[in-house]
Amino acid sequence: MKVFVVYSSPAGSTARIARRIADFFRKGGTEEFSVSLYDLGALKFYNEGNKISPLLKEIDAAGENGLLFLGSPVYVGHAVPPVNNFIDLLPSDTGTVFVPFVTWGGVSSGVALQEMAEGALSHGVRVGGGISMVAPHSHMWRDDNPLGKARPNKNDMEMLDRWLFDFVHRLATSALSPESSIEALIHPDPAVRDSFSRVDLASAAGEMPDRTVRTEGENACTHCRSCYAVCPTSAIQFAPHPVFTDRCIYCFNCVKLCPNGSIVADLVSKERFLHKTSLLRNEPASPRLVLLS
């Protein structure tokens, strides 16, 4: 089988899961699986869409022999725009086996797994399962005790390996149907489903912390363009200082990784809000590993 592990991971946690999945199939050491790993951010998906075409062609060519793991962080309850846009571009009726995986930051895993599966199903895939893991909340890198601290841990990763083992066994022994029910990927709490049917990243944009670019003094922007390099959606333009366009997904990589500390954002009230919301949601932090048949 041809295994494609594709992901978006502004802060690196989804990438960890992606690498673990790829390693699992590579360490299998058989000719049975050939593995390719793709980071949608590094491919500069938005500015250089042509870089994605060879991958889409490969998925198309693999057909029923293809196994696509697609990973996203949960942002405001949903998958991130690069991942949803990638799903929109999937070739039709390939019969590819599809497994969505997400990492979430200890507030709520939302409806991302369900929506990724539904989006891919409309392209004629067969959904084999889903993976949801807690990881450090990527807005809390300045917090000494962020939600999701030190996750996924050794135990989480070993659970993932065992699930992958069972998944491969299931693939070999039972045929997946395109009509398989994905009910087990739906968030069990109706209140969560209801709240995320009404909000998403676009509607929550006004609640994201403001950013200001320092243009004078010791920490003034030097136009080094490092922020552009780490932006997963090519959302930064220079005029001459960085300007954030509406492609911004509020990952805050630009704030975190500017070598001069030139982009200022107050995250303290956001941290307080996230700790409080996490307590209210009270969602179990153990990995959710779903095997469909």
Ligand X SMILES: Cc1cc2nc3c(=O)[nH]c(=O)nc-3n(C[C@H](O)[C@H](O)[C@H](O)COP(=O)(O)O)c2cc1C
Q: Give residues in contact with ligand X (CB under 6 A).
A: 9-15, 73-77, 103-108, 110, 135-139, 250-251
* Least spacing, CB of residue 150 vs ligand X, in Å: 13
For ligand SF4, the closer CB: 155 or 237: 237
Residue among 67 and 251 whose Cβ is closer to ligand X = 251
Select from ligand SF4, ligand X, none the partner in contact with residue 222, using the beta carbon and a kind-dependent cut-off of 5 to 8 Å. ligand SF4
> Angle 112-121/81-89 helices, nearest 10 degrees?
20
Considering CB distances under 5 to 8 angstroms, the limit depending on partner class, which of ligand SF4, ligand X, none binds residue 233?
Answer: ligand SF4
Compute the radius of gyration of the chain from its Cα atoms. Answer: 19
Handedness of CA 248, 253, 257, 263 (dihedral sign): positive
Q: How far is the CB of 30 from ligand X (least distance, A)?
A: 29
H/E stretch holding 201 reads helix 201-204
Residue closer to ligand X by CB (options 62, 251) is 251
Q: Which two tokens stand for residue 96?
A: 């590819």
Q: Least distance to ligand SF4 from the beta carbon of 174, Å?
A: 41
Tell me which of ligand X, ligand SF4, none is bound by residue 45, counting a contact when its beta carbon lies within the kind-specific cut-off of 5 to 8 angstroms: none
List the single partner that 74 binds among ligand X, ligand SF4, none, CB under 5 to 8 Å by kind.
ligand X
Instruction: Decide: 31 and 1 in contact? Cβ < 8 Å.
Output: no
Least gap, CB of 256 to ligand SF4 (angstroms): 9
For ligand X, which is the closer residue by CB, 39 or 290?
Answer: 39
Return the number of the residue (167 or 252) whose C-beta is nearest ligand X: 252
Q: Which is nearer to ligand X, 96 or 103 (CB)?
A: 103
Rounded Cα distance between 250 and 158, Å, is 31
Q: Measure Cα distances from 217 to 89, 264, 265 in Å.
A: 45, 13, 17
Cα 77 from Cα 174, distance rounded (Å): 32
**Tokens 């996230």 appear where?**
274
Cβ-Cβ contacts under 8 Å for 236 (sequence gap 6 or more) = 227, 228, 242, 243, 244, 245, 254
Where does this chain bind ligand SF4 (CB under 6 A)? 213, 221-227, 230-233, 235-236, 242, 244, 248-254, 258, 260, 262-263
Burial of 218 (0-12, 13-18, 19+ CB in 10 A): exposed
